[in-house]
Amino acid sequence: MSASLPSLPTPESAVDTDLPAPAADGSDAPTTAELLDFVRRTAEDTALVASLPLDPEGRTWLRLDGPGGSEAWLISWPPGTGTGWHDHAESTGAFTVAAGALKEYSLAARLPTDGWRTLELSEGVDRSRLLATGQGRAFGRHHVHEVLNESGREHAVSVHAYYPPLPQIRRYSRTGAVLRLEQTERPEDWQ
Ligand SMILES: [Fe+2]
């Protein structure tokens, strides 16, 4: 059953920040700054980036060993492909564009974790940024975004790292200001 919740309060209770967040847990956990450093250095590994097969029909990916037990991926994006709206639950993360460009649309708002199916977003919570080759960002827990290759002709390649390794992804559809939780995926769904 769907239930509309009140609009989200203050847009600036934001998770969308350029500042590295503290480690998600424990002192041994990699910080978002370390995740961002890893994805930047990996994106500069031209031999690795070139080793990823490109498929015009869909995204391709290669699992990497991230720092400090993090989960990392090298991903290719054909023109016009994207992730759809999703979050990464309790995981922090970072990604950098290694080739082409990616557009990120994100919400500068924290969503309630459970107990809702549809949510009307407040005005002013939308953010977007175009990340060119060599550009990246880090994000904190509960970051909600979609990432797209809006190019009409050029593949994009990017490097991503998450810590802790993704426990779940919640996927959303969006119509105007209304966000709807469509499904929750767990690692066993990705095997
Ligand atoms: Fe994501």
Q: Give the CA-trace dihedral at 138, 143, 145, 148, to 10 degrees.
A: 30
pLDDT reported for residue 26: 53
- CA distance linking residue 28 with residue 4, whole number of Å: 40
Q: How far is the CA of 14 from the centre of ligand 1 (A)?
A: 16
Give distance in angstroms: CA of 92 to centre of ligand 1. Answer: 10
Rounded CA-CA distance 10/29 in Å is 30
Residue 174 CA to ligand 1 center (angstroms) comes to 16
Q: Whole-prediction pTM value?
A: 0.84
Q: How far is the CA of 61 from the centre of ligand 1 (A)?
A: 14
Largest CA distance in the chain: 50
- Distance between CA atoms of residues 47 and 63, nearest Å: 15
Q: 123 C-alpha vs ligand 1 centroid, how far in Å?
A: 22
31-47 pLDDT, tens digit per residue, is 999 999 999 999 999 99
For residue 100, report the distance from its CA to the centre of ligand 1, in Å. Answer: 18
pLDDT at 10: 34
Q: How far is the CA of 136 from the centre of ligand 1 (A)?
A: 13
Cα(87) to centroid(ligand 1), Å: 6
Residue 81: other Cβ atoms inside 10 A: 18
| Residue pLDDT, tens place only, 80-112 | 999 999 999 899 999 999 999 999 999 998 888
Of 184, 155, 154, 180, which Cα lies nearest the Cα of 168? Answer: 184
